Protein backbone atom coordinates (compact mmCIF):
# COMPACT_ATOMS: atom_id res chain seq x y z
CA UNK A 1 0.00 0.00 0.00
CA UNK A 2 2.91 2.35 0.73
CA UNK A 3 6.24 2.11 -1.10
CA UNK A 4 9.20 4.09 0.14
CA UNK A 5 12.06 4.24 -2.37
CA UNK A 6 15.48 5.52 -1.39
CA UNK A 7 14.12 8.33 0.74
CA UNK A 8 16.40 10.84 2.44
CA UNK A 9 15.49 13.68 4.76
CA UNK A 10 18.14 16.25 5.53
CA UNK A 11 17.42 19.08 7.95
CA UNK A 12 19.11 22.43 7.30
CA UNK A 13 20.64 21.22 4.04
CA UNK A 14 23.57 23.26 2.82
CA UNK A 15 24.24 24.76 6.19
CA UNK A 16 26.89 23.88 8.76
CA UNK A 17 24.28 22.30 11.02
CA UNK A 18 22.94 20.07 8.25
CA UNK A 19 21.72 16.75 9.63
CA UNK A 20 20.50 13.74 7.75
CA UNK A 21 17.82 12.12 9.91
CA UNK A 22 16.67 9.55 7.34
CA UNK A 23 19.20 8.28 4.85
CA UNK A 24 18.34 6.28 1.74
CA UNK A 25 15.53 4.23 3.24
CA UNK A 26 13.47 1.87 1.06
CA UNK A 27 10.66 -0.24 2.37
CA UNK A 28 7.12 -1.38 1.60
CA UNK A 29 4.14 -1.38 3.91
CA UNK A 30 1.44 -3.91 3.17
CA UNK A 31 -2.23 -3.22 3.34
CA UNK A 32 -4.02 -4.55 6.40
CA UNK A 33 -0.78 -5.42 8.21
CA UNK A 34 0.80 -4.16 11.38
CA UNK A 35 4.29 -2.84 10.66
CA UNK A 36 6.68 -1.70 13.39
CA UNK A 37 9.65 0.65 13.05
CA UNK A 38 12.09 0.06 15.83
CA UNK A 39 15.41 1.56 16.73
CA UNK A 40 17.15 3.59 19.40
CA UNK A 41 16.28 7.14 20.24
CA UNK A 42 17.31 9.59 17.56
CA UNK A 43 17.48 6.95 14.86
CA UNK A 44 14.92 8.73 12.67
CA UNK A 45 11.69 6.81 13.38
CA UNK A 46 9.55 9.85 13.92
CA UNK A 47 11.03 11.54 10.86
CA UNK A 48 10.25 8.54 8.68
CA UNK A 49 6.69 8.41 10.04
CA UNK A 50 6.20 12.07 9.17
CA UNK A 51 7.44 11.44 5.62
CA UNK A 52 5.21 8.44 5.10
CA UNK A 53 2.27 10.28 6.68
CA UNK A 54 2.50 13.23 4.24
CA UNK A 55 3.49 15.67 6.97
CA UNK A 56 6.82 16.56 5.46
CA UNK A 57 8.45 16.23 2.08
CA UNK A 58 11.64 14.20 1.67
CA UNK A 59 14.80 15.89 0.44
CA UNK A 60 15.13 13.15 -2.15
CA UNK A 61 13.61 9.79 -3.01
CA UNK A 62 10.05 8.80 -3.82
CA UNK A 63 7.05 7.67 -1.85
CA UNK A 64 4.11 6.01 -3.61
CA UNK A 65 0.66 5.38 -2.20
CA UNK A 66 -1.65 2.77 -3.64
CA UNK A 67 -5.39 2.56 -3.35
CA UNK A 68 -5.81 6.16 -2.27
CA UNK A 69 -8.69 8.11 -3.66
CA UNK A 70 -7.61 11.64 -4.54
CA UNK A 71 -9.56 13.79 -6.95
CA UNK A 72 -7.59 15.61 -9.61
CA UNK A 73 -4.31 13.84 -8.94
CA UNK A 74 -2.53 11.65 -11.47
CA UNK A 75 -2.23 8.04 -10.37
CA UNK A 76 0.03 6.17 -12.77
CA UNK A 77 -0.81 2.49 -12.53
CA UNK A 78 -2.81 3.08 -9.39
CA UNK A 79 0.21 4.41 -7.50
CA UNK A 80 0.15 8.02 -6.35
CA UNK A 81 3.52 9.72 -6.13
CA UNK A 82 3.33 12.11 -3.19
CA UNK A 83 6.87 13.39 -2.94
CA UNK A 84 6.51 16.65 -4.81
CA UNK A 85 2.93 17.55 -4.06
CA UNK A 86 2.11 20.98 -2.65
CA UNK A 87 1.21 21.14 1.03
CA UNK A 88 -2.45 21.62 0.17
CA UNK A 89 -2.65 18.27 -1.60
CA UNK A 90 -0.49 16.47 0.91
CA UNK A 91 -2.85 17.64 3.61
CA UNK A 92 -5.85 16.48 1.64
CA UNK A 93 -4.37 13.01 1.26
CA UNK A 94 -3.28 12.95 4.87
CA UNK A 95 -6.72 13.87 6.13
CA UNK A 96 -8.40 11.19 4.07
CA UNK A 97 -5.84 8.41 4.49
CA UNK A 98 -3.94 8.71 7.74
CA UNK A 99 -4.87 8.89 11.38
CA UNK A 100 -2.11 9.91 13.77
CA UNK A 101 -1.57 8.97 17.39
CA UNK A 102 1.21 11.19 18.64
CA UNK A 103 3.79 10.44 21.27
CA UNK A 104 2.60 13.36 23.39
CA UNK A 105 -1.05 12.93 22.34
CA UNK A 106 -1.16 16.53 21.07
CA UNK A 107 -4.60 17.32 22.43
CA UNK A 108 -5.64 20.94 22.82
CA UNK A 109 -5.90 22.11 26.40
CA UNK A 110 -9.02 23.90 27.54
CA UNK A 111 -11.07 22.36 24.74
CA UNK A 112 -13.66 19.69 25.49
CA UNK A 113 -13.00 16.02 24.79
CA UNK A 114 -15.70 15.93 22.15
CA UNK A 115 -14.39 18.96 20.31
CA UNK A 116 -10.83 17.61 20.42
CA UNK A 117 -12.08 14.53 18.64
CA UNK A 118 -14.03 16.58 16.09
CA UNK A 119 -11.24 19.03 15.24
CA UNK A 120 -9.58 17.12 12.37
CA UNK A 121 -12.87 17.17 10.46
CA UNK A 122 -13.51 20.92 10.64
CA UNK A 123 -11.63 21.87 7.46
CA UNK A 124 -13.46 19.16 5.52
CA UNK A 125 -16.72 21.08 5.70
CA UNK A 126 -18.89 18.03 6.38
CA UNK A 127 -22.27 18.06 8.03
CA UNK A 128 -21.72 19.20 11.66
CA UNK A 129 -24.54 17.09 13.08
CA UNK A 130 -23.20 13.92 11.46
CA UNK A 131 -19.72 14.74 12.70
CA UNK A 132 -20.97 15.24 16.23
CA UNK A 133 -22.73 11.90 16.10
CA UNK A 134 -19.64 10.14 14.76
CA UNK A 135 -17.41 11.65 17.44
CA UNK A 136 -19.96 10.76 20.12
CA UNK A 137 -19.99 7.14 18.95
CA UNK A 138 -16.20 6.96 19.05
CA UNK A 139 -16.13 8.32 22.60
CA UNK A 140 -18.80 5.82 23.54
CA UNK A 141 -16.76 3.00 22.08
CA UNK A 142 -13.71 3.99 24.13
CA UNK A 143 -15.73 4.48 27.30
CA UNK A 144 -15.25 8.24 27.35
CA UNK A 145 -18.82 9.48 26.92
CA UNK A 146 -18.82 10.61 30.53
CA UNK A 147 -16.03 13.10 29.77
CA UNK A 148 -17.38 14.36 26.44
CA UNK A 149 -18.17 17.86 27.66
CA UNK A 150 -15.21 18.19 30.01
CA UNK A 151 -12.00 19.91 28.97
CA UNK A 152 -9.29 17.30 28.42
CA UNK A 153 -7.14 18.82 31.18
CA UNK A 154 -8.81 16.60 33.78
CA UNK A 155 -8.31 13.26 32.03
CA UNK A 156 -5.81 10.56 33.07
CA UNK A 157 -2.94 9.38 30.84
CA UNK A 158 -4.75 6.31 29.59
CA UNK A 159 -7.90 8.31 28.89
CA UNK A 160 -5.91 10.93 27.04
CA UNK A 161 -4.51 8.26 24.78
CA UNK A 162 -7.96 6.90 24.08
CA UNK A 163 -9.12 10.41 23.18
CA UNK A 164 -6.14 10.66 20.84
CA UNK A 165 -7.09 7.34 19.25
CA UNK A 166 -10.70 8.44 18.85
CA UNK A 167 -9.47 11.62 17.18
CA UNK A 168 -7.24 9.61 14.82
CA UNK A 169 -10.28 7.61 13.76
CA UNK A 170 -12.75 10.42 13.26
CA UNK A 171 -12.11 10.77 9.52
CA UNK A 172 -12.15 6.98 9.13
CA UNK A 173 -8.59 6.65 7.76
CA UNK A 174 -7.22 3.55 6.02
CA UNK A 175 -3.88 3.83 7.80
CA UNK A 176 -3.21 4.45 11.49
CA UNK A 177 0.19 5.79 12.44
CA UNK A 178 1.31 5.69 16.08
CA UNK A 179 4.53 7.16 17.42
CA UNK A 180 5.82 5.58 20.64
CA UNK A 181 2.28 4.82 21.76
CA UNK A 182 3.32 2.99 24.91
CA UNK A 183 5.96 5.41 26.14
CA UNK A 184 3.67 6.96 28.73
CA UNK A 185 1.69 3.86 29.68
CA UNK A 186 2.23 1.13 32.25
CA UNK A 187 2.47 -2.44 30.99
CA UNK A 188 -1.19 -3.15 31.70
CA UNK A 189 -2.35 -0.18 29.63
CA UNK A 190 0.24 -0.99 26.97
CA UNK A 191 -1.24 -4.47 26.57
CA UNK A 192 -4.70 -2.98 26.35
CA UNK A 193 -3.42 -0.66 23.63
CA UNK A 194 -2.00 -3.54 21.61
CA UNK A 195 -5.26 -5.42 21.99
CA UNK A 196 -7.05 -2.43 20.57
CA UNK A 197 -4.61 -2.36 17.64
CA UNK A 198 -5.50 -5.99 17.08
CA UNK A 199 -9.16 -5.11 16.66
CA UNK A 200 -8.26 -2.33 14.22
CA UNK A 201 -6.20 -4.77 12.20
CA UNK A 202 -9.13 -7.14 12.09
CA UNK A 203 -11.23 -4.21 10.96
CA UNK A 204 -8.96 -3.99 7.91
CA UNK A 205 -6.87 -0.98 8.79
CA UNK A 206 -3.19 -0.73 7.97
CA UNK A 207 -1.12 0.01 11.07
CA UNK A 208 2.31 1.60 11.33
CA UNK A 209 3.89 1.94 14.75
CA UNK A 210 7.25 3.38 15.77
CA UNK A 211 8.43 2.02 19.07
CA UNK A 212 11.41 0.73 21.00
CA UNK A 213 9.19 -1.07 23.49
CA UNK A 214 9.58 -4.89 23.27
CA UNK A 215 5.98 -5.21 24.36
CA UNK A 216 5.10 -3.68 21.00
CA UNK A 217 7.61 -5.12 18.57
CA UNK A 218 7.54 -8.59 20.10
CA UNK A 219 3.76 -8.73 20.08
CA UNK A 220 2.30 -11.64 18.07
CA UNK A 221 0.14 -9.15 16.20
CA UNK A 222 3.14 -7.65 14.41
CA UNK A 223 3.51 -8.66 10.78
CA UNK A 224 6.76 -6.88 9.91
CA UNK A 225 9.52 -5.06 11.75
CA UNK A 226 12.05 -2.65 10.28
CA UNK A 227 14.98 -1.56 12.35
CA UNK A 228 16.47 1.90 11.95
CA UNK A 229 19.89 3.00 13.10
CA UNK A 230 21.29 6.47 12.43
CA UNK A 231 18.68 7.02 9.79
CA UNK A 232 19.44 3.79 7.86
CA UNK A 233 17.60 0.51 7.75
CA UNK A 234 19.72 -2.25 9.16
CA UNK A 235 19.31 -5.93 8.45
CA UNK A 236 16.46 -7.51 6.57
CA UNK A 237 12.91 -6.87 7.46
CA UNK A 238 11.79 -9.58 9.82
CA UNK A 239 8.34 -10.97 9.45
Ligand X SMILES: Nc1ncnc2c1ncn2[C@@H]1O[C@H](COP(=O)(O)OP(=O)(O)OP(=O)(O)O)[C@@H](O)[C@H]1O
Query: Cα angle at 177 between 176 and 182, to 5 degrees?
Result: 110
Site for ligand X in 172-231 (CB under 6 A): 180
Q: Which is nearer to another protein, 157 or 237 (CB)?
A: 157
In this structure, the number of other CB atoms found within 10 A of the CB of residue 230 comes to 14
- Cα dihedral 105, 226, 224, 215, rounded to 10, equals -50
55 touches which of another protein, ligand X, Mg ion, none (CB within 5 to 8 A by kind)? another protein
Q: Which is nearer to ligand X, 42 or 78 (CB)?
A: 42
Residue 181 binds which entry of another protein, Mg ion, ligand X, none, with Cβ cut-offs from 5 to 8 Å by kind?
none
Using CB under 8 A, which residues numbered 151 to 170 contact another protein? 167
Residue 78 falls in which region: left (phi positive, over 0), alpha (psi -120 to 50) or beta: left
Binding to another protein by CB under 8 A, coded x per residue (else -) over 20-49, reads --------------------------xx-x
Q: Where in 10-39 is the site for ligand X (CB under 6 A)?
A: 11, 19, 21, 39
Q: Quote the least distance from Cβ 31 to Mg ion, whole Å.
A: 25
Check binding of 211 to Mg ion (CB under 5 A): no
Q: Which of 93, 234, 117, 236 is nearest to 174 (CA)?
A: 93
40 to 69: interface string for ligand X, x by CB under 6 A: -xxxxxxx----------------------
From ligand X, Mg ion, another protein, none, which one binds at residue 119 (CB under 5 to 8 Å depending on kind)? another protein
Distances from the Cα of 192 to the Cαs of 38, 69, 183, in angstroms?
A: 20, 32, 14
Which member of 40, 78, 126, 143 binds another protein (CB under 8 A)? 126
**Using the rule CB under 5 A, is 50 a contact of Mg ion?**
no
d(CA 137, CA 39) in angstroms, rounded, equals 36
CB of 4 to Mg ion, least distance (A): 17
Contact 60, 8 (CB under 8 A): yes
Our finding on whether 172 is near another protein (CB under 8 A) is no
Establish if 69 lies at the interface with another protein (CB under 8 A): no
Question: Is residue 171 a contact point for Mg ion (CB under 5 A)?
Answer: no
Q: Which is nearer to another protein, 154 or 188 (CB)?
A: 154
List of residues contacting Mg ion (CB under 5 A): 46
Amino acid sequence: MIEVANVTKTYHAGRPNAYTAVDGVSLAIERGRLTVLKGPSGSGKTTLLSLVGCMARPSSGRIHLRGVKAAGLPAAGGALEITSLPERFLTEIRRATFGFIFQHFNLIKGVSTLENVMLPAYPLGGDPAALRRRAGELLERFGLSRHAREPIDRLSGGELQRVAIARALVNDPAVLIADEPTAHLDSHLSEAFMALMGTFKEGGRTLLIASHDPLVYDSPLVDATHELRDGRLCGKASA
